[in-house]
Amino acid sequence: MRQTAGTLNRTWLTILGIIVLAAGIGLLLQASGQLHSLANTAPSSERVVTGDLHAVTSPQWVVVVILIAGIIVGVLGLLWMLAQVPRKNAADTYRLHDDGAQGFTVCDPSVLATAVENQVNTLPGVVTSSALLRGTATDPDLTLKVTVNDRTDVQDLIHRIQTSTLPDLSNALETPLQKSRLQIDVSGRTQGTGTVVHSTGTVLQ
Partner 1 sequence: MNRQGAHQLPPTAAEDAASGSYGGGDDDIGSRGHTVLANRVIEKIAGQVANDESSAGGSSGGFLGIGAHADLSARPKASVELNGNIATVSVEVGLLYPVPLRRATEDLRQRIRGRVTELTGVEVRQVDIKVAWLTSEGAAPGRRRLL
Interface ranges with partner 1 (CB under 8 A): 96-98, 101-108, 111-112, 114-115, 118-119, 122, 168-169, 171-174, 196, 203-205
In angstroms, rounded to a whole number, what is the distance separating the alpha carbons of residues 35 and 55?
28
In angstroms, rounded to a whole number, what is the distance separating the alpha carbons of residues 128 and 101?
41
Tell me the closest approach of the beta carbon of residue 127 to partner 1, in angstroms.
18
In angstroms, rounded to a whole number, what is the distance separating the alpha carbons of residues 120 and 67?
57
Nearer to partner 1, 110 or 178 (CB): 110
Nearer to partner 1, 37 or 118 (CB): 118
Tell me the closest approach of the beta carbon of residue 134 to partner 1, in angstroms.
18
Tell me the closest approach of the beta carbon of residue 12 to partner 1, in angstroms.
41
Class of residue 165 by CB neighbours under 10 A (exposed 0-12, middle 13-18, buried 19+)? buried
Q: How far is CA 101 from the centre of its chain?
A: 36
Nearer to partner 1, 36 or 95 (CB): 95
Nearer to partner 1, 108 or 139 (CB): 108
Q: Give the total residue count for the chain.
A: 205
Instruction: Name the CA dihedral angle for 47, 50, 52, 53, rounded to a multiple of 10 degrees.
Output: -50
Tell me the closest approach of the beta carbon of residue 65 to partner 1, in angstroms.
54
Contact 190, 153 (CB under 8 A): no
Tell me the closest approach of the beta carbon of residue 5 to partner 1, in angstroms.
33
In angstroms, rounded to a whole number, what is the distance separating the alpha carbons of residues 117 and 174?
19
Nearer to partner 1, 115 or 186 (CB): 115
